[in-house]
Amino acid sequence: MKKILSIIGARPQFIKAAAVSREIGRRKGLTEVIIHTGQHFDHNMSQVFFEQMQIPEPVYNLGIHSLPHGAMTGRMLERAEEVMLKEDPDWVMVYGDTNSTLAGALAAKKIGLPVAHVEAGLRSFNMTMPEEINRILTDRIADLLFCPTQTALDNLEREGFDHFDKRVLLTGDVMYDAYLHFSDLRKAPTGLKLPDKFGLVTLHRAENTDQPETLKQIVEALNEIAEELPLVLPIHPRTFKVINHSKLPAMSNKILVIEPMSYLEVLYLLEKCFLVLTDSGGLQKEAYFAERPCITLRTETEWTELAEAGYNQVAGTRKEAIIKAFRGFVRKKPEFTSGLYGIGNAAKMIADAFLQPEL
């Protein structure tokens, strides 16, 4: 019996774990212990995902959150190491590109445990983003790398990973697995009256929320867009705090600001919306799964294939560029084709990989 120690801590990781943990639970030769670092701790950002998506309850909850990057990563590393020494797993599995990802990978390698990285090979090529640093360092020290797309696999080959003593697999994207599994269970938010036609907005990345001029440009763009298309904004706790304590322009009353939504509620909003505006990596893909055009409120994206196919307009954070991207999608919505992220069996491939004799 092989023991997998899985480390999660943020909303996108909960969604990915829902797919992978379900497959691990079906394998007679595998058992899983989950650590929740506590990076996302609000009920609507954390516990509701475990309840709705049948994710096994974490055996350990480290409760580490609301700290600067260095302090958060350091404390996670220290606490995760304690758990690893106690549990002595065969593999440590980490997801994505958060501080929880890097801390888990570092803790494991420091004590000689092999690391598996789900969502390996992604690159935004923007080294000012903490996520880019996390994913590059995690890839470099991981032993088993699960790539969601051919682009991710190509990135690793360009960086010389074919010369490293690692195993790299093209699996497809586990978020697509989750979307297919849960899309029929989508749930309307309780007590929420939606406009007949609306855009779905999310905004949470520090490079947007922590820069007053950047946030001002985005809010002004959203206000102008809302005059033509009402917007629904499930607001991240940090974004809510920043907006309430800043001198930003007031948000239009045509922007419906609501609390964070569960995954099943987000799926419902995706089904009903006209388009998506976001700085989230995960929601860019979910918009594609739901065949909704997406405007990315960043200057780059890890999901370059979406931009190249015209499903995603990487607008940046300037008011004029955001509005231009919006007008483009109003004039012509893209025609969607499937297949960019696999066929919905990524989690199965990941679970099967742990049972290979050479591992």
Task: From the candidates 36, 65, 117, 204, give the one annotated as an active-site residue.
Answer: 204
Helix, coil or strand: residue 313: strand
CA distance 314 to 300: 6
Nearest to 170 by CA among 354, 6, 350: 350
CA distance 200 to 286: 12
69 as an active site residue: the answer is: no
Q: Please, what sign has the CA dihedral across residues 287, 233, 42, 103? A: positive
Q: Please, what sign has the CA dihedral across residues 336, 258, 174, 52? A: negative
Q: Please, what sign has the CA dihedral across residues 7, 13, 18, 19? A: negative
Q: Please, what sign has the CA dihedral across residues 251, 255, 258, 263? A: negative
Helix, coil or strand: residue 280: coil
Report CA 299 to chain centroid distance, whole Å.
17
Q: What is the dihedral of CA 301, 40, 220, 289, to 10 degrees?
A: 50
CA distance 174 to 347: 6
Residues acting as catalytic residues: 204
